[in-house]
Amino acid sequence: MINIFYKNPVCIICSRKKHKSSAHIIENRLCICTDCYKRLPRVPIPSKGTIHTKYILSPFYYTGDLRNSVLRYKFMGNWAYSAIFARLLVEFIRNIEDVCTADMVIAVPISRQRLNERGFDQTELILDCMKKELPLNYKSGVLERKVHTKHQSRLAGYERFSNISNAFAVRSDVRGKKIVVFDDVYTTGYTMEACAKTLIEGGAREVIALTLAKVPELYDDTGARYIL
């Protein structure tokens, strides 16, 4: 018997097979269905910047089904989700002038050890997919991760920033440049701040943080500047 649903795409949020007509974004065998798309936890306004970033741009909060989807992407090998996440990000940044006029867009680099554990670089992969959708100056190798840091989640409070603050080095000429730094999720903000600090100290003019999602509780009332 032929299963007529065989070729229908699977929604990366609710994991259900959906008919193409009820999918908002389709990429190969994956989609975001219209229902899930409507319910995505959208961030109403960009977060204030930090000491070294102009602002934190994240289209979504890192909660609920979206969070589970990101976890399946990062830790369960669902690397093909990158194409859908890239489409969502492009929808979001397409009309943000500061991003579209940036001199370069780079990813927060992961360490070689983490790359070996995971098998792929989840942030770089999303940027790779964005290239096909929106022509910006995507660059790799601008920042290098010098040392393998401990998992941030195993450390608390101030330890997290000291763990990461000197982990990066600039490997290209960034002087006078406006740079968008992309990471998948904004949690403590320490990794992003460490990248931004390294770039600014290397002569970059401005750093804009872009992430697919951000943890809601810590930042909305206080602003990211407060935690640093």
Q: Does 13 engage in binding with Zn ion (CB under 5 A)? A: yes
Would you say 31 or 110 has its CB closer to Zn ion?
A: 31
Binds Zn ion by CB under 5 A, chosen from 14, 115, 155, 227: 14
d(CA 15, CA 118): 22
Q: Looking at 35-43, 106-114, 153-161, 203-211, which segment touches Zn ion (CB under 5 A)?
A: 35-43
For the chain, the three-class secondary structure string (H helix, E strand, C coil) is CCCCCCCCCEECCCCCECCHHHEEEEECCEEEEHHHHHHCCECCCCEECCCCCCEEECCEECCHHHHHHHHHHHHCCCCCHHHHHHHHHHHHHCCCHHHHCCCEEEECCCCHHHHHHHCCCHHHHHHHHHHHHCCCCECCCCEEECCCCCCHHHCCCHHHHHHHCCCEEECCCCCCCEEEEEEEEECCCHHHHHHHHHHHHCCCCEEEEEEEEECCCCCCCCCHHHHC
Binds Zn ion by CB under 5 A, chosen from 11, 43, 125, 199: 11
Q: How far is CA 211 from the centre of its chain?
A: 4
Q: Does 10 engage in binding with Zn ion (CB under 5 A)? A: no
Would you say 56 or 66 has its CB closer to Zn ion?
A: 66
Q: Does 36 engage in binding with Zn ion (CB under 5 A)? A: yes
d(CA 187, CA 151): 13
Binds Zn ion by CB under 5 A, chosen from 23, 30, 33, 108: 33
Name the packing angle between helices 81-93 and 64-75 (round to 10°): 130
**Least Cβ distance, residue 37 to Zn ion (angstroms):** 8
Would you say 15 or 162 has its CB closer to Zn ion?
A: 15
Would you say 16 or 74 has its CB closer to Zn ion?
A: 16
Residues 117-156 that bind Zn ion (CB under 5 A): none
User: How many residues bind to Zn ion according to rule CB under 5 A?
Assistant: 5
Would you say 13 or 212 has its CB closer to Zn ion?
A: 13
Q: Looking at 7-15, 38-46, 140-148, 178-186, which segment touches Zn ion (CB under 5 A)?
A: 7-15
**Least Cβ distance, residue 56 to Zn ion (angstroms):** 27
**Least Cβ distance, residue 16 to Zn ion (angstroms):** 6
**Least Cβ distance, residue 65 to Zn ion (angstroms):** 8
List residues binding Zn ion (CB under 5 A).
11, 13-14, 33, 36
